[in-house]
Amino acid sequence: MIKILDRLEEFIIATLMAAATLVTFIAVVHRYFSGFAIPYLQDWLLELNFSWAQELCIILFVWMAKFGAAYGVRTGIHVGVDIVVNHLEGLPRAVLIHLGLACGVLFTALIGIFGANLVWENGMAFDAMNWLGMETGDRFEGPITPDLEWPTWMVYLAIPLGSFLMCFRFVQVMVRFAHSGKLPTHDHGHVEGLDTEQDANVLLEGEAISVAEDIEHNQHSQHIGEHGSKQQ
At residue 53, the pLDDT reads: 93
Would you say the C-alpha torsion 10, 13, 19, 25 has a positive or negative sign?
negative
Distance CA(119)–CA(113), nearest Å, equals 10
Query: Is residue 189 in some structural domain?
Result: no
> Contact, 66 vs 161, CB < 8 A?
yes
pLDDT at 183: 82
CB neighbours of 101 closer than 8 A, spacing ≥ 6?
A: 170, 173, 174, 177
DSSP per-residue letters across 144-160: B-TTT--BHHHHHTHHH
Q: What does the pLDDT read at residue 190?
A: 58
Q: Alpha-carbon distance 100 to 170, whole Å?
A: 10
DSSP secondary structure string, 24-69? HHHHHHHHHHTTS--TTHHHHHHHS--TTHHHHHHHHHHHHHHHHH
The pLDDT assigned to 66 comes to 94
> How far is 39 from 139, CA to CA, in rounded Å?
52
Asked if residue 31 is part of any domain, the answer here is yes
> Is residue 12 assigned to a domain?
yes
Q: Provide the domain count of the chain.
A: 1
Is residue 187 included in any domain, yes or no?
A: no
User: Would you write out the chain's pLDDT as a tens digit for each of its 232 residues?
Assistant: 888 999 999 999 999 999 999 999 999 998 888 888 888 888 888 888 888 999 999 999 999 999 999 999 988 888 777 777 778 788 888 888 899 999 999 999 999 999 999 999 999 999 999 899 888 888 888 899 999 999 999 999 999 999 999 999 999 999 998 988 888 876 656 555 555 555 555 555 555 555 665 666 566 556 555 655 555 5
Within-domain flag for 18 = yes
Give residue 136's pLDDT.
83
Tell me what pLDDT residue 157 has.
96
In a domain, 225, yes or no: no
Q: Is 138 a member of any domain?
A: yes
Q: Evaluate whether residue 55 is within a structural domain.
A: yes
Contact between 64 and 13 under an 8 Å Cβ cutoff? The reply is: yes
Range of the structural domain that residue 105 is part of: 2-182
Residues 6+ apart with CB under 8 A from 57: 20, 23, 24
- Find out whether 131 and 40 touch, Cβ atoms under 8 Å: no
